[in-house]
């Protein structure tokens, strides 16, 4: 760890340098503000000790320049006879602490250690945030993606309810996370709740929480997703699968900002932004009394559409490169290269599974293709769509006349087998993608002889 001292009193600089070097820190010092700023840019310290009174520039102005350049670097201000207003101004500008002369050497050691620990943690958080942004990056430069990003940037700072609509695998959760990341709630929780992934009888307990003894097995009180999201964002994924009873309670949360845990009469106040998503036609569900009309209009304040991959095929090369880098990093190997012919080949299918299907294809390529440069012939047999054989099979399937029960079984077998492959044979992920309960899907797969 390196420390820069900027103080016009050379004796103080020498004393501090000696003490801090004994603690195994690298230390340099300058006696003017101008020289200090230059040294800061060249030395790139992890901590700055800065005098308020300098012969050429006010130390507060130097602090301001440092913070504009590197906001995470901790700066400790030093003063012999500064006013309270200087201390307040320094803290407002981001100073870590404010020391008065004569300095307490034990305090110097303790505070410097705390400041450097703070900087280390700040850097870890920054790196985590950067990795988070990479993992949840919005990849694409097509017109529909530019329009989507523009909408996200406009609606993110507000507290408006948002309904994200789109096919499975188009990135609805990604859109919700980006809205949260660019909102005023970014430092508070983003909590996901998937109505389709939780048994119906447990939905209210998971969403609203429960008290001890509320039902068999409730051995202790538990906060629900709503409480965990307080102050932040609650993402209601697959909202179309939520039962009517839970819909009524969510409507109350939206209207009044309050709810009760299961088994409790105590009302909890909540401040949470709700973003919902679905791949279902909610208007049709409203007409069939399967979804509350009042909840639909409450959620659909800002409708956002997640475009299918077939409507933005020009983005496929960027998406391929993105997932290629991620997959290579996970496997700890060099990224593969894709020839122009391969990129063109990858842009031909319609990808009914959308980006999720393309991502799974990239993982298969890394697992099954040994070549460093991928050619079309290397991946032809890995594609599940758009082959001549599959087209002929589809025509034969729809044009043949058989008993409805037999045809239905064949359809379910082909469809569920394909969906299972698209989700790397993970039953839980497949159930989530299809909006089914895992137990129901497992039973269906077993009945059809797929598992």
pLDDT in tens, the chain (451 residues): 899 999 999 999 999 999 999 999 999 999 999 999 999 988 889 999 999 989 999 999 999 999 988 888 999 999 887 677 888 888 889 999 999 888 888 899 999 999 999 888 888 877 766 666 666 678 999 999 999 999 999 999 999 999 999 999 999 999 999 999 899 998 899 999 998 888 877 888 999 999 988 888 888 889 999 999 999 999 999 999 998 989 999 999 999 999 999 988 899 999 999 999 999 999 999 999 999 999 999 999 999 999 999 999 999 999 999 999 989 988 889 999 999 999 999 999 889 889 999 999 999 999 888 899 999 988 887 875 444 444 445 556 666 677 777 778 888 888 888 788 777 778 888 888 888 888 888 888 888 888 6
Q: What tokens does 114 get?
A: 């705390």
Phi, psi of 165 (to 5 degrees): -120, 145
Q: How far is CA 112 from CA 11, 84, 103, 390, in A?
A: 19, 22, 13, 67
pLDDT for position 389: 45
Architecture of domain 388-447: Orthogonal Bundle (1.10)
CB atoms closer than 10 angstroms to residue 400: 9
Query: Which CATH number is associated with domain 155-307?
Result: 3.40.50.300
Query: What's this model's pTM, rounded to 2 decimal places?
Result: 0.63
Q: What tokens does 19 get?
A: 């003490």
Task: Please determine whether the domains at 2-132 and 310-382 fall in the same fold group of CATH.
Answer: no
pLDDT for position 419: 83
* Pairing relationship of beta strands 258-260 and 267-269 according to DSSP bridges: antiparallel
Q: Which residues contact 155 (CB under 8 A, 6 or more apart)?
A: 162, 179, 302, 304
Q: Which residues does residue 30 pair with via DSSP β-bridges, in sequence order?
A: 6
Q: Please list the alpha-helical segments (H only) found in 136-224.
A: 143-155, 172-181, 203-208
Answer whether 50's CB lies under 8 Å from 36's CB: yes
d(CA 32, CA 29): 9
d(CA 415, CA 184): 42
pLDDT for position 396: 61
Q: Please list the alpha-helical segments (H only) found in 301-387.
A: 316-331, 340-346, 354-368, 376-379
Answer whether 190's CB lies under 8 Å from 233's CB: yes
Q: What tokens does 174 get?
A: 């990604």
pLDDT for position 387: 40
* Pairing relationship of beta strands 162-165 and 302-305 according to DSSP bridges: parallel
Going from N- to C-terminal start, the domains of the chain cover 2-132, 155-307, 310-382, 388-447
pLDDT for position 83: 72
d(CA 207, CA 195): 9
Q: DSSP 3-state assignment of 231?
A: coil
Answer whether 171's CB lies under 8 Å from 213's CB: no
Among residues 2, 14, 97, the alpha carbon closest in space to that of 52 is found at: 97
d(CA 101, CA 109): 15
pLDDT for position 100: 87
CATH class of domain segment(s) 2-132:
alpha beta
Answer whether 72's CB lies under 8 Å from 126's CB: yes
Architecture of domain 310-382: Orthogonal Bundle (1.10)
What per-residue string of b and e applies to 63-96 under the rule 16 or more CB within 10 Å gives b? beebeeeeeebbbbbbbeebeeebbebbeebbbb
Q: What tokens does 370 get?
A: 């040994």
Q: How far is CA 266 from CA 47, 191, 213, 224, 258, in A?
A: 49, 23, 15, 14, 10
pLDDT for position 227: 92
Answer whether 101's CB lies under 8 Å from 108's CB: no
């Amino acid at each position: 760890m390196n420390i820069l001292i900027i103080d016009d009193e050379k004796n103080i600089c020498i004393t501090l340098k000696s003490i801090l070097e004994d603690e195994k820190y690298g230390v340099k010092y300058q006696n003017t503000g101008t020289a200090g700023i230059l040294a800061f840019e060249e030395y790139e310290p992890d901590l700055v000790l800065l005098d308020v009174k300098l012969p050429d520039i006010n130390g507060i102005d130097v602090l301001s320049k440092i913070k504009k350049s590197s906001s995470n670097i901790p700066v400790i201000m030093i003063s012999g006879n500064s006013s309270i207003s200087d201390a307040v101004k320094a803290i407002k500008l981001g100073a870590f602490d404010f020391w008065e002369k004569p300095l307490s050497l034990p305090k110097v050691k303790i505070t410097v250690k705390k400041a450097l620990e703070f900087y280390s943690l700040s850097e870890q958080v920054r790196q985590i945030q950067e990795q988070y942004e990479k993992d949840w990056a919005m990849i694409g430069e097509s017109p529909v993606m530019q329009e989507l990003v523009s909408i996200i940037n406009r609606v993110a700072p507000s507290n408006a309810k948002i309904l994200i609509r789109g096919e499975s695998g188009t990135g609805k959760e990604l859109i919700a996370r980006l809205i949260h990341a660019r909102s005023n709630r970014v430092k508070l929780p983003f909590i996901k709740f998937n109505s389709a992934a939780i048994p119906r009888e447990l939905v209210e307990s998971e969403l609203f929480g429960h008290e001890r003894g509320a039902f068999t097995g409730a051995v202790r009180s538990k906060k629900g997703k709503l409480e965990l999201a307080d102050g932040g964002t609650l993402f209601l994924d697959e909202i179309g699968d939520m039962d009517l009873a839970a819909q009524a309670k969510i409507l109350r949360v939206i209207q009044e900002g309050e709810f009760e845990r299961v088994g409790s009469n105590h009302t909890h106040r909540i401040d949470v932004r709700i973003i919902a998503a679905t791949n279902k036609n909610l208007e049709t569900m409203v007409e069939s009394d399967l979804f509350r009309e009042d909840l639909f209009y409450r959620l659909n304040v800002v409708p956002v559409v997640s475009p299918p991959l077939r409507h933005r095929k020009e983005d496929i090369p960027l998406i391929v490169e993105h997932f290629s880098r991620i997959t290579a990093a996970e496997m700890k190997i060099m990224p593969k290269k894709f020839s122009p012919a391969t990129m063109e080949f990858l842009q031909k299918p319609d990808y009914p599974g959308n980006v999720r299907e393309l991502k799974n294809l990239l993982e298969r390529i890394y697992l099954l293709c040994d070549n460093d440069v991928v050619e079309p012939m290397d991946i032809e047999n890995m594609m599940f769509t758009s082959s001549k054989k599959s087209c002929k099979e589809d025509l034969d399937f729809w044009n043949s006349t058989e008993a409805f029960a037999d045809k239905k079984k064949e359809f379910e077998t082909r469809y569920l087998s394909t969906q299972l492959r698209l989700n790397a044979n993970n039953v839980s992920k497949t159930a989530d993608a299809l909006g089914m309960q895992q137990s129901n899907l497992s039973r269906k797969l077993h009945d059809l002889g797929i598992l």
